[in-house]
Structure 1
Amino acid sequence: MRRPWSYTGPFQEQDVVESFKWRPGMPFGAATSYVHLEKLCEGSCATVYKGISRITGQLVVLKVIRLEAAEGMPFTAIREASLLKHLKHANVVLLHDIIQSKETLTFVFEYMHTDLAEYMGQHPGGLHSCNVMLFMFQLLRGLAYIHQQHILHRDLKPQNLLISCLGELKLADFGLARAKSIPRQTYSSEVAALWYRPPDVLLGATDYSSDLDIWSAGCIFVEMIQGQPIFEGTSGTHEQLLKIWEVLGVPAEDTWPGLSKLPNYNPEWGTLRHLKDFGQLCEGLGRVPAAEDLASKMLTAFPRGRISAQDALLHSFFSPLPPQLYQVPAGQSVLTVPGVRLQPEICDLFVSYRKSHLSQGSSKFW
């Protein structure tokens, strides 16, 4: 593949945008309709570029998947494309175009400035409670939509939640997503990153439903508040389960029918003590009204006991938000509601104050 065009100056991107405004007749599905600006990241089977569309003049993300001659097109790519073609929602990343050649398959997505993992990394110690509320509402809004379409994401983690500079959040990376159209259909238990995988799936259950995504979203919710993953630092399935039991306690058979029959169940867990609770695990939950209650409803060990995304949106945790948010059409961002916007994080305010203070001091000195 030809080396992508790139730029080095911070001021050149706008010049490029101006140069490649919409041009009549530029076709979809053609590599010539997009210009590569810079490489964002590279994996084992795909490279992601920041680019610009010569069709619309907008910034885009180009996910270039390398096709192996012997293996053909990756099934995850086929699955992602087929699902995203039918998903149109403000909180689901938009697939603009697909370009196929003999060597590559390129997905053209809308451009988003960062992801939740990077955002939390830039703002350590937990996010502003208003921003947690805004991000969580959008996450649940996107989940409620795909669950209504009978689609499971199956890989929710901060890296797969994209965020715009305004604070819009979108579900992304549907490579592991599946359409759940057949009742009681079974799936693989090798889904979701380990820290965000629910106990039933860790135990080997394969008949999960939308409750899988709810557990992952609950883990992300607590992580946004406390500034670190709730169940981190383990190296395998057994250790991950012990981390969860340490907080939730080992469920009894009467509260989780069929628990002891799951493939990875260990009878010795009955001797474990319940060491912590949500309040002890994360002091920040107690400081945010109704956060602990919502977290406990999402992070319930028994899968059928978890709250749905639609019901979670109605939880009292979101009561400070304007009621107009519930009337916003699916294709429209909640940030269009007056007064709904991203708040400055504490560390950003500190940096702004420090810069202002230093600049004032310098002016007086000179």
Structure 2
Amino acid sequence: MEEMMRSELVSMSSYCRRYGHLKLHDFSNPSFKKTKYSPTKVFVVSSSSSNSTSPPPLPQNPIFQSFFFPVTPSPIIPYLQHCSRNTKKRKFTPSSSSGSVKVISREAFNAAVKKPSVAVKKPTVAVKKPTVAVKKPIVDVNKPTVAVTHDRGVRKSSSWVKSRLLGKGGYGSVYLATSKDGRYKTERAIKTAELSRASSLMDERRILKRLKSPFVIYCYGDEIVREGTSDCYNLILEYCSGQCLADVIEDNQGGLSEFDVKLYAKDVLSGLSYIHDRNIVHCDIKPDNLLLTPVDHRFRSNGFLTKIGDFGLAMEKGSVEYGNGCGHKRGTTRYMAPELIGHGVIDFAVDIWAFGCSVLEMLTGVQVWGEHGDLVYDDWVSLIGHSDLIPNIPSWLSEEAKDFLKRCFVKEPNARWGINELLNHPFLSSNQVFSHNGFIYE
């Protein structure tokens, strides 16, 4: 018996040296019926050996079994044997990194692969953009905004090159400018002001775009340009190289000849007739705003045509701004009519009064109301608006000239002569013949 046990131990030790050590599990439980030994269900062979072939089953010797397994088998063994009959053999895939054999079930793998992937649909959040109620501003049609420009935007540079300053006033400045187009060296007068202070120039543009008369300065458009750190509004106007009547009066001490005054006066009345027919009141007629442009001597003996300029204070009758024509204060105080400076009433007659003041300065060479010196505004209101005085008419003027001026200086606006009556006055409609440089004029 001992010899048999010794031989079994020798064979067992040889087996372990070749195929690795065995892990023996003791399933001790209450006594069950002894079952046939099944090494594949009990022993787990370590894969630490370099031999990749599966070890053979242990020797099937009853003495060996009784020696190493004297205990009664666990009830788990028959259960495993029972389950092994109904289960297909599984394929073992040894892990290269682990020291033990990991059993992966093909059925479990396939089941995991075949599991339907749950597509987690992200909820679509409908972000409702807030509706901003943009209230459109109420725009007075008689008060133009920046949108009056043709290009509706700010240009990086102007289309004109300013060369010299022609004049300066409360509205801004006037420059002589030349076109950048090399083919045409066109000259224009550019009225410019900062965009924030250009309301008067925009008003002038709104009025001038409707007017096309040889006796009214022509407007070629406007632009907004970036100059330095600010935006500037440029009004592009016809350039009258013959200066203005104020400069001509200053250059001719003692006044102009009646011949020249009649020519200028007719032009101004023709321009006023044109704008009055379009319900426009200029509100600022004076020698500074009466411009001279050269013409052929065959058409004018003095070589100049008079044009009305500067419509920055002009008003259109029937507009919202004009209203009922009352409560307005605009114009140059020295040339304002009594009803305008005293009561704020604007009508066509205020241009007739201012026209008479301009003719008086042309004839005398002296500023109207000059004998009263420089007055403050309230004194002007008292002098012109609430007194019976009219501008001084020198006695040395011709009777026709004096009577013509008196018709312009009637205090009551409804009794003041109109344009057609003044054009037919003997001072302007005389048949006296004049000659100049070989040409005959009536």
Q: For this structure pair, what is the TM-score category when the shorter chain's length is used for normalisation?
A: 0.5 to 0.7
Which amino acid in structure 2 is aligned with residue 137 of structure 1? Answer: K
Which amino acid in structure 1 is aligned with residue 285 of structure 2? Answer: L
Residues 218-244 of structure 1 deviation map (CA, whole Å, 9 limit, x = unaligned): 111111111112323241345335655
Number of the residue aligned with 1:121: 250
Which amino acid in structure 1 is aligned with residue 219 of structure 2? Answer: L
Number of the residue aligned with 1:219: 357
Which amino acid in structure 1 is aligned with residue 246 of structure 2? Answer: A
- Indicate yes or no: 2:376 matched with 1:236: yes
SS of 2:221's equivalent?
strand
- Indicate yes or no: 2:266 matched with 1:140: no
SS of 2:339's equivalent?
helix
Deviation at 1:57, TM superposition (A): 2.9
Aligned ranges for residues 93-104 of structure 1 at < 5 Å?
Answer: 93-101=217-225, 103-104=231-232
C-alpha separation between the residues in 1 aligned to 2:253 and 2:424? 29
C-alpha separation between the residues in 1 aligned to 2:420 and 2:195? 39
Residues 33 and 50 of structure 1, relative CA distance in 2, 3 Å threshold:
same
Residues 150-181 of structure 1 deviation map (CA, whole Å, 9 limit, x = unaligned): 00000111111111243211111111001112
SS of 1:36's equivalent?
strand
Which amino acid in structure 1 is aligned with residue 375 of structure 2? Answer: S
Aligned ranges for residues 292-307 of structure 1 at < 5 Å?
Answer: 292-307=402-417
Number of the residue aligned with 1:177: 314
- Indicate yes or no: 2:328 matched with 1:202: no
8 A contact 1:225–1:284 mirrored in 2: no
Deviation at 1:108, TM superposition (A): 1.1
Match 2:426 to one of 316, 320, 326 = 316
Unaligned stretches of 5+ in structure 1?
1-27, 245-263, 324-337, 342-366
C-alpha separation between the residues in 2 aligned to 1:35 and 1:116? 26
Number of the residue aligned with 2:11: none
8 A contact 2:281–2:317 mirrored in 1: yes
Deviation at 1:75, TM superposition (A): 2.5
- Indicate yes or no: 2:332 matched with 1:190: no
8 A contact 1:66–1:105 mirrored in 2: yes
Q: Which protein shows a greater Rg?
A: 2
C-alpha separation between the residues in 2 aligned to 1:243 and 1:284? 24
- Indicate yes or no: 2:208 matched with 1:84: yes
TM-score w.r.t. length of structure 2: 0.54
8 A contact 2:205–2:221 mirrored in 1: no
C-alpha separation between the residues in 2 aligned to 1:229 and 1:149? 31
Number of the residue aligned with 1:283: 395
Residues 155 and 45 of structure 1, relative CA distance in 2, 3 Å threshold:
closer
C-alpha separation between the residues in 2 aligned to 1:304 and 1:240? 22
Residues 42 and 222 of structure 1, relative CA distance in 2, 3 Å threshold:
closer
Residues 18-75 of structure 1 deviation map (CA, whole Å, 9 limit, x = unaligned): xxxxxxxxxx97755322222223445522211123465322111122123xxxx633
Residues 205 and 116 of structure 1, relative CA distance in 2, 3 Å threshold:
same
Deviation at 1:339, TM superposition (A): 4.1
Q: % of aligned pairs identical? A: 25
Number of the residue aligned with 2:30: none
Number of the residue aligned with 1:349: none
TM-score w.r.t. length of structure 1: 0.65
8 A contact 1:226–1:283 mirrored in 2: no
8 A contact 2:283–2:350 mirrored in 1: yes
Larger RCO, structures 1/2 (Cα 8 Å, 6+ apart): 1
SS of 2:304's equivalent?
coil
Residues 284 and 192 of structure 1, relative CA distance in 2, 3 Å threshold:
farther
8 A contact 1:64–1:106 mirrored in 2: yes
Residues 282-325 of structure 1 deviation map (CA, whole Å, 9 limit, x = unaligned): 1242x2x51111111111000111111232112111123699xx
Deviation at 1:142, TM superposition (A): 0.5
Which amino acid in structure 2 is aligned with residue 240 of structure 1? Answer: W
